[in-house]
Structure 1
Amino acid sequence: MSRPVALLTGAGRRNGIAWSIATTLAADGWDIVFSHLGDYDRRMSLGGDPDRDPAALVAELRALGARSIAVDADLADPAVPGRLVAEASAALGPVRALVLSHAESVDSGILDTSVESFDRHFAVNTRASWLLLQAFAGQVPSGGGRVVALTSDHVVGNMPYGASKGALDRIIIAAARELAPLGITANLVNPGPVDTGWMDDETRAALTAAQPGGRLGTPDDAARLVRFLVSNDARWITGQLIMSDGGFSI
């Protein structure tokens, strides 16, 4: 029996959520196409170059029995989302699960956000996600598919990121209704504070203290939920924004 194909965005860093999702799905029997963007990782100094190795992720996924390809893709370009889905489908077969875990996130508030930064956040976090949904729905195989998007409600001091993620939330919830006739479910996961390389010691300590369970979330925590949501066991769950944050939002 052939393995289903999942397309993940925003992978390529070992300490990132998407890396854990990719390996979890591969171990669960999925073939994986993932996108990454080296320019963004270097610009944000996320984990440093030693932790960014898309080729190592491909090797790890193949060791788990998955076919896998990596695509360097700047989702701010409106031509890229459709090409990414087409390339994934041509290489491995129709994509059955779309996991949106990419993000542009540069801290700034209402008074100091530039128009350029605002527009790039919405281009990457919102417009690209909509275009990926369009392309995914256009090639979804018989039997339908799954969409899971990673989101966040962090907007104070991070206005363009939070605002663009809020718009993404509405799009995914609309997709749950509009794409249901195609057999597609669409859900959102808010993983809460997960240290993927962006926290300094002060931030890490403050957020840990605010967690009821006394620990931060891990990429594996998010991956386990995504694994469920793309499975057949979750076929009746759609249009949900799941706060999988260890109680942080309570």
Structure 2
Amino acid sequence: MSARPENAVALVTGASKGIGSAIAKALAADGWAVAVNYRSDEAGANAVVEAIEAEGGTAKSIHADVTNGDAKALLKQVEEALGGPVLALVNNAGVARDNIALQLTDEDWDVVIGTNLSPAFRLTRDSLRSMIKARYGRVINIASVVGPRANAGQSNYAAAKAGLIGMTKTIAAEVARRGVTVNAVAPGFIATDMTAELATDEIVKAIPARRQGTPEEVAAAVRFLASDDAGYVTGTTLYVDGGMSA
């Protein structure tokens, strides 16, 4: 079992708000230097950085569109900004374009897969070299309870999230001997901008806990999986869903 190197950096994609913002703050509180990635919400990302620095942490906002396919450039940008290799990667960036399959367009499918799944693979693949060299690494993919269970109107989103879970298991097995863990966190119905317009009262009735989760509760799970204490946890999916997957 190895300890986190002193110059280790964490990269959280889609971290300007919601779950990503909470994850960035939680990792910073655990001593990581954090790259707060954003595509369009510069003000939100800067606010996250300011909140981290106000608590004595280290963070930089990093502008990059993870869908452009250039994972190496983003990882290099982060390393130059924070002075160390990305040894914790949280693939959080995601979008939803919901509709029943009969009415789902090719664009709706491609955008969701191209944002929620493909960038996670590229960033994971291209960050593994530094992690293996350091004999320490943490990859955490933000999946969803929708991945393993049906949710009408989200075939594209479910496919992407189920793909993340399958990818997590496979890559975890490939690198387990190198001191690198790969896990997923699958949130349920979490109070974010993405869920704000949904019929909350009706959805909550189907949740055993009878409430929405918070971004901070998801971030706590990520914080554990990124820690030294989780060195023997790999290839698993941790559900933060109030019992929806039970």
TM-score (norm 2): 0.89
Change (3 A) 1:138 1:202: closer
Secondary structure (helix, strand or coil) at the match of 1:18 reads helix
| Mapping 1:70-85, distance limit 5 Å | 70-79=61-70, 81-85=71-75
- The one-letter code matched in structure 1 to 2:95 is E
User: Does the aligned pair in 1 maintain the 2:189–2:195 contact within 8 Å?
Assistant: no
Change (3 A) 1:84 1:208: same
- In the alignment, structure 2 segments of 5+ residues that lack a partner are none
- The one-letter code matched in structure 1 to 2:236 is Q
The alignment yields a C-alpha RMSD, in angstroms, of 1.9
- The one-letter code matched in structure 2 to 1:237 is V
CA deviations over 1:190-221 (Å, ceiling 9, x no partner): 11100202335662111222222221111011
Give the one of 66, 79, 98 matched to 1:89: 79
Secondary structure (helix, strand or coil) at the match of 1:210 reads coil
Change (3 A) 1:58 1:139: same
User: Does the aligned pair in 2 maintain the 1:195–1:204 contact within 8 Å?
Assistant: no
CA deviations over 1:87-136 (Å, ceiling 9, x no partner): 11222201111111111211122111111221122221111111001111
Give the one of 106, 114, 122 matched to 1:123: 114
| Pair 1:59 & 2:61 matched | no
Aligned length, in residue pairs: 236
Distance, in Å, in 2 between the alignment partners of 1:184 and 1:200 is: 36
Distance, in Å, in 2 between the alignment partners of 1:164 and 1:199 is: 18
Change (3 A) 1:210 1:91: same
Distance, in Å, in 2 between the alignment partners of 1:7 and 1:112 is: 36
User: Does the aligned pair in 1 maintain the 2:28–2:59 contact within 8 Å?
Assistant: no
Distance, in Å, in 2 between the alignment partners of 1:10 and 1:202 is: 21
Give the one of 33, 36, 47 matched to 1:34: 36
Distance, in Å, in 2 between the alignment partners of 1:202 and 1:2 is: 43
Identity of paired residues, percent? Answer: 33
- The one-letter code matched in structure 2 to 1:146 is R
Alignment partner, residue 16 of structure 2: 12
Distance, in Å, in 2 between the alignment partners of 1:202 and 1:4 is: 39
Change (3 A) 1:194 1:182: same
Distance, in Å, in 1 between the alignment partners of 2:242 and 2:63 is: 33
Distance, in Å, in 2 between the alignment partners of 1:115 and 1:184 is: 36
| Pair 1:148 & 2:140 matched | yes
Distance, in Å, in 2 between the alignment partners of 1:183 and 1:101 is: 22
